[in-house]
Chain A
Amino acid sequence: MTQRPLVLRGGRVLDPSTNTDHAGDVVIIDGRVASVESRTTSVEDAEIIDCDGLIVSPGFIDVHCHLREPGREDVETIATGARAAAAGGFTAVCAMPNTDPVTDNQAAVGFIIRQAQRAQASRVHVIGAISVGQKGETLAEFGEMVAAGAVAVSDDGRPVVSAQLMRTALEYARTFAIPVIDHCEEPTLSQGGSMNEGIISARLGLKGIPSEAEEIMVIRDILLARRTGGHVHLAHMSTVGSVELIRWGKERGINVTAEVCPHHISLTEERVVGYDTNAKMNPPLRTARDVEALREAVKDGTIDMIATDHAPHHYDEKEREFADAPNGIIGLETALAVSVTNLVETGHIDFSTLVDKMSCAPAKLFGLPGGTLAKGAVADVTVFDPDREWDVEPSQLLTKGRNTPYAGMRLKGRAVFTIVGGATVHRL
Chain B
Amino acid sequence: MLEVVVTDTLVEASAAMSDRARFLGGGTLVMRQVNYGDQRFNRIVRCRERLDEIRAEGDRISIGSGVTMARIMGSSELEFLAPAARAVGGPAVRNMATIGGNLIAPHPYGDMAVALLALDGEVTLADGSTQALEQYLTRRRGLVRSISIQRPSRDEFRFRKVSRVKPKGASVMSMAAHLQRNAGRLSNVRVAYGAMAPTPIRVTAVEQALEGASFDLGGITPALNVATDGLSPPDDALASAWYRREVAPVHLRRLLLEEDRR
**A and B are partners in one complex rather than unrelated chains:** no
Chain B interface (Cβ < 8 Å from any Cβ of A): none
